[in-house]
Structure 1
Amino acid sequence: MAPDDRSAPILLSPPDVGPLEEAYLASALRSGWVAPLGPDVEAFEAELAARAGRRHAVAVSSGTAALHLALLALDTGPGDVVVVPTLTFVATANAAAYTGAEPVFVDCDPATGNLDPALLRETLDRLRTGGARIAAVLPVDMFGSCADYARILPICAEAGVPVVEDAAEALGAVRDGRPAGAFGRAAVFSFNGNKIITTSGGGMLVTDDADLAGRARYLATQARQPVPHYEHTDIGYNYRLSNLLAALGRAQLARLDTMIARRRQLRERYAKLLAAVPGVRLLADDDAGANCWLTTLVVDPAEAGWSAADLAARLAQERIETRPVWKPMHLQPVFAGARAFLTGAAERLFAHGIALPSGSGMGEREIGRVLRTIEGFVHGR
């Protein structure tokens, strides 16, 4: 079936791969470096560190693993608190829970979905007054738009709390002239299959701190001691990335700017189509530095006369995939009873937000099919 066939599903953000990825993988296979680690891993780390403006990078099996390692390298453990945005994918909160620390959730800026700096300050003050040891703050760069680090970093520095930037969705984005991944003690990226670049599964920790990078690398390789036999004095993890997947990542990274440009063009077409529709806005619609990983609409049903769920249902009839905004962590059953500092912003975005197909590999016929369906739905309502 041809990918532009009307009966074929249109996915939210499928992998965009082609001849370059095939060539890099074939070269890695021919090199004999099929097992984990190898020259493509080292090259991928160097290339990604340069893109993020960092001195060190550690390639690992997932973005979640990168978050876990970053927190472990900061000596996070039982009895500690880790401050996490409530509007995020569960991996951010899970990484804190893996260490035995308590995730404490903070609400978002309704305009961007990113961590609310003013509420963060209040949260840190109240936690410190209560005697909490705050191991880290984990801001998340939502849907490819960097958080407001010009405000977040000074707040955390004043409180003496390190920042780990969760840039899983934001590779290639820019904020205040600095690339995503350049903020905080460390930052992490995800290369999951739906991210802006993919290694099928994988992630990266980046940092300027050589000791932190070394600790993460050590823990990611089962905490093996540098002796001829297998000796371990710490609990380690099997978290390293394979050479084959790193080769795929290198090819993807070489195409990153082109893929961002295509996603941005698609976002602009969505924006133009919906500009005059009352009660509809794009999340973080004025962020020129976003990588446009996912274009997300926020719908006020009272003003628009229809809801995000209504639009999702219509698109689903045409086999066009959408997704609600992340369900906030404080509403997740697994974190029932967790402490949370809230304004209601994340709950409103969850209730009224919808992510539209945003893949850089979408053909013109697929894009036209999505736009026509949205236009017909809006005019029909």
Structure 2
Amino acid sequence: MGGNELRYVHQALDTNRISQYGSNIDEFENSLENYFGSNSHVTALSSGTAALHVALRMLNVEKGDFVICQSFTFVATANPILYLNAVPVFVDSENQTWNMCPEALEDAVKYCIQKGKKPKAIIVVLSYGMPFMVEEIVQISKKYEIPLIEDSAAALGSKYKDQLCGTFGDLSVISFNGNKIITTGGGGALISRKGEDKTRALFLSTQAKDGMEFYGHSEIGYNYRMDNVAAGIGRGQMETLEEKIMLRRKNHDFYQEAVKDNENIELFSAPNSDFFSNYWLNTIILKNNFPKENLRAKFSEDNIETRYLWKPMHLQPLFKGYEFFGNNLCGTLFDTGLCLPSGTNLTDESRNRISEVLQTKIH
């Protein structure tokens, strides 16, 4: 917590505004719109998943439609496609950013067109806060006139060529889940380029109530609006966002130093200066056939949590049978990678414990 969250929560309680109306929601959205700049219209919602679901609805995705989706991601990226009975088409990663491979994306687009149905959307993910190959992916999106949804759930504060992530998609998504760089406990935001798109997002996320004296409904809506208490936490979090980004990047500097002489470990880092990552999570690849389970077991012995990288969606039983395009680089990442402790509250004592494990000879 940054310090002022409790003040804004008390404000919600004192004014008896604890549900989906209140000044905290307005001010939180305003702070995000000011942060992202012009042509960014923010709708605060109950989760990043809800934002993705609403984004697909806004693009008129329906039963049987193709939606191209990055395979290397958390399941929340792909689930909303199934909510709408649409058909996910999964695309592999490239090795520089671990995000959507442009060549595989174009192959997927051509496949869908050959099947007689152009995809309704492309969902690109910014894995672990790393910007994607923006120019290449956006060019394909424009070439085939397919809207781009930018899943920047973990990439708040990341940039490509000094432009903030969350501003490249036709629609973009941020998450404020408890593990993200700032949090509202649970929550998310949909970022649209036009004011009328925000109006549409608000309509869909508040049960699609028609403008009548009674509750009239002509289409399906959802109870997805963020509440005023959660938004109060978000207001306080936004006041310390830059500090949190600095602390996450400080963690990355620590890991660079800790593994620089270890021939078996490669730290995932930005490919060049065009890519500014918030390093929401620091991740490593184990090389030279070094078994990741050995390192993970050593961390566990010292009561230090590590996690696997994302298991790609095309390898999940839930998505068995759906098309996948690429060379399964994302499967190799899953087989050889680990996520390391990366919180903004990581202490020097914790770093020392982590460093000791990384410098231990493990067989």
Indicate the TM-score class for this superposition, using the shorter chain for normalisation: over 0.9
Alpha-carbon separation, structure 2, partners of 1:331 and 1:55: 35
Shift of 1:380: 4.5
Paired positions, count: 360
Give the letter aligned to residue 3 of structure 2: P
Residue 144 (structure 2) aligns with: 159
- Is the partner of 1:351 in helix, strand or coil? helix
* CA distance in structure 2 between the aligned counterparts of 1:271 and 1:286, rounded to whole angstroms: 14
Shift of 1:162: 0.5
TM-score normalised by L of structure 1 = 0.91
What residue in structure 1 maps to residue 281 of structure 2? Answer: 294
Match of 2:125 in 1: 140
The answer for unaligned runs of 5 or more in structure 1 is 1-16
Q: Deviations over 1:31-88 (max 9, x none)?
A: 3211222111111111112222343111110000000001100101112100001100
- Match of 2:252, SS state, is helix
- Give the match for residue 321 of structure 2: 337
* 2:357 pairs with 1:370: no
* Structure 2 spans left out of the alignment, 5+ residues: none
Contact 1:74/1:212 (<8 A) preserved: no
Structure 1 counterpart of 2:36, one-letter code: A
8 Å Cα contact 1:110/1:349 also seen in 2: no
Query: Structure 1, residues 161-189: CA drift from partner, whole Å, max 9, x if none?
Result: 00010000100100122101001211001
Which aligned pairs between 1:97-136 and structure 2 lie closer than 5 A? 97-136=82-121
Q: Percent identity?
A: 36
Question: What's the counterpart of residue 91 of structure 1?
Answer: 76
Partner of 2:33: 49
State whether residues 134 and 161 of structure 1, in contact with CA within 8 Å, keep that contact through their aligned partners in structure 2: yes
Is 2:299 aligned against 1:312?
no
TM-score for the superposition, normalised by structure 2:
0.96
Partner of 1:183: 168
Question: What one-letter code is carried by the residue in structure 2 that aligns with 1:68?
Answer: H
> Is this contact kept in 2: 1:146–1:180, CA < 8 A?
yes
C-alpha displacement of 1:314: 1.0
Report the secondary structure of 1:138's partner residue.
strand
CA contact (8 A) 2:97 2:133 kept: no
Runs of 4+ deviating beyond 3 Å? 284-288
2:344 paired with 1:360: yes
Deviations 1:188-244 (A, max 9, x none): 011111111110100000011223222111010000112232111111100000000
Q: Is the 8 A contact 1:70 1:212 kept in 2?
A: no
CA distance in 2, matches of 1:127, 1:52: 33
| Deviation, structure 1 residue 324 | 0.7
Alpha-carbon distance between aligned partners in 1 of 2:10 and 2:22, rounded to the nearest angstrom = 15
| CA pair 158-380 structure 1, distance change in 2 beyond 3 A | closer
Report the alpha carbon displacement of residue 351 of structure 1 after superposing the two structures with TM.
Answer: 0.3
Alignment partner of 1:349: what SS?
helix
Q: Is the 8 A contact 1:37 1:240 kept in 2?
A: no
* Alignment deviations for residues 66-118 of structure 1 (CA, whole Å, 9 cap, x no partner): 00001100101112100001100011111111112101000001232100012
